[in-house]
């Protein structure tokens, strides 16, 4: 007899769900066996990052994935920027976002080499601590990134931006894979944040809106849409 696969409960990332820490709480309830950072561990990570900030100037964040189209914090998109020495790639497993432990999806991260075009988000200094705390609740649920301050070239000049860089020591990091394998996983995986392929569609749409181009992401979108027919 065929057993129906239980669909994960949908979790929406909004400012409200970050304020009450509802994203992490609901994901922990669904996936009790997976490692999550505690609220205290998230704050320790944030404090370490903020120790390199003067506390008086605005904070700039380099957005290269979902932060472009759904930052869920109070910020201003001030324009595009280019990060040298890193490129965008689906190189992390997603077991509680766009996938499940039984069928993991893929998440974007940054890998060494090349360059990456994205959007620069500005957080006013007076709101930086509160907004970054929410950003940590969103991006550092399991500690899969290494937050770093890196130079980003923009119309405003070279800005020191907060970047969620790859963390090769994290269990979710798998590194680059073939294009065909990416399409196979992305076309099938789905999780509490929705279908994995939708993440590609929304990211490419956001890049197009800012007149940015990522050849591999565009290829993934076309291949995934072709799989739907």
* Catalytic one of 139, 180, 184, 221: 139
For the ranges 13-22, 26-35, 104-113, the lowest mean pLDDT is seen at: 26-35
Q: What is the pLDDT of residue 29?
A: 82
User: Within 13 Å of residue 181, how many CA atoms lie on the same side as its CB?
Assistant: 11
Task: Give tens-digit pLDDT for 65-76.
Answer: 999 999 999 999
Contact 112, 195 (CB under 8 A): no
Q: What is the pLDDT of residue 161?
A: 97
Q: What is the pLDDT of residue 4?
A: 45
pLDDT band at 7 (very low <50, low <70, confident <90, very high): low
Is a pLDDT exceeding 80 seen at residue 1?
A: no
Active-site annotation holds for 228: no
Sorted by sequence, the CB contacts under 8 Å of residue 26 that are 6+ apart come out as 9, 11, 192
For the ranges 4-13, 35-44, 124-133, the lowest mean pLDDT is seen at: 4-13
**Per-residue DSSP letter, 31:** -
Mean pLDDT of the chain: 93
| Element spanning 209, H or E | helix 196-209
For the chain, the structural domain boundaries read 15-227
Q: What is the pLDDT of residue 8?
A: 65
Contact 125, 155 (CB under 8 A): no
Q: What is the pLDDT of residue 2?
A: 38
15-227 CATH: 3.10.490.10
CA–CA gap between residue 221 and residue 199 (Å, rounded): 10
For the ranges 9-18, 123-132, 211-220, the lowest mean pLDDT is seen at: 9-18
**Per-residue DSSP letter, 173:** B
């Amino acid at each position: 007899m065929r057993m129906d696969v239980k669909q994960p409960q949908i979790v929406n990332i909004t400012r409200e769900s970050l304020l009450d820490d509802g994203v992490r709480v609901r994901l922990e309830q669904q996936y009790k066996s997976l490692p999550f950072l505690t609220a205290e561990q998230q704050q320790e990570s944030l404090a370490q990052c903020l120790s390199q900030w003067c506390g008086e100037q605005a904070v700039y964040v380099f957005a290269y994935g979902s932060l472009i189209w759904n930052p869920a914090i109070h910020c201003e998109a001030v324009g595009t920027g280019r990060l040298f020495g890193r490129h965008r790639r689906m190189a992390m497993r997603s077991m509680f976002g766009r996938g499940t432990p039984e069928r993991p999806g893929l998440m974007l991260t940054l890998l060494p080499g090349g360059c990456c075009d994205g959007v620069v988000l500005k957080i006013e200094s007076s709101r930086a601590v509160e907004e970054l705390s929410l950003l940590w609740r969103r991006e550092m649920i399991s500690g899969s990134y290494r937050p770093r301050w890196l130079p980003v070239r923009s119309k405003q000049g070279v800005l020191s931006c907060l970047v969620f860089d790859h963390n090769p020591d994290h269990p979710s990091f798998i590194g680059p894979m073939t294009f065909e394998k990416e399409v196979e996983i992305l076309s099938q995986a789905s999780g509490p944040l929705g279908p994995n392929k939708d993440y590609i569609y929304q990211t490419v749409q956001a890049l197009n809106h800012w007149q940015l181009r990522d050849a591999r992401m565009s290829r993934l979108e076309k291949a995934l849409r072709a799989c739907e027919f």
